[in-house]
Amino acid sequence: MKARVFVTLKPSVFDPQGQTIADALHSMGYTGVGEVRQGKYFELDVSAPSADQAKTLAAEVADKLLANPVIESYRVEVE
């Protein structure tokens, strides 16, 4: 089973990389793009008896390692 984990900075945390990307897009003429937030994306091959258990496992991994709960939050999808 494949689990996808999306890690993003919490809304309260300033993202200088996202800001720089937004500035670049604006200088390229993409005025329709507002704020940009950069995050991380992980694909995990998971062995689990059910999608629910795969999701639980991926969430545990995200909690322990993939995301730092001080500055980041995450979302898990299982296919």
Partner 1 sequence: MRFAIVVFPGSNCDHDAYHAAEHVLGQDAEFVWHKETSLQGADVVILPGGFSHGDYLRTGAIARFSPIMKCVAAFAREGGPVLGICNGFQILLEAGMLPGAMLRNRDLKFHCEHVRVQVERTDTPFTSLASIGQVLRLPIAHGEGNYYAEPDVVDDLEASGRVVFRYCDERGQITSDANPNGALHNIAGICNESRNVVGLMPHPERACESVLGSADGKLLFESVVGALAVGGQSP
Sites of contact with partner 1 (CB under 8 A): 12-14, 16-17, 20, 65-66, 68, 70-71
CB 53 → partner 1: shortest distance, Å?
A: 23
Cβ neighbour number for residue 3 with a 10 Å cutoff: 23
C-beta of 10 vs 75, nearer to partner 1 = 10
| Rounded least distance, CB 68 to partner 1, Å | 5
Nearest distance from C-beta of residue 13 to partner 1, angstroms: 6
DSSP assignments along 37-58, one per residue: --EEEEEEE---SSHHHHHHHH
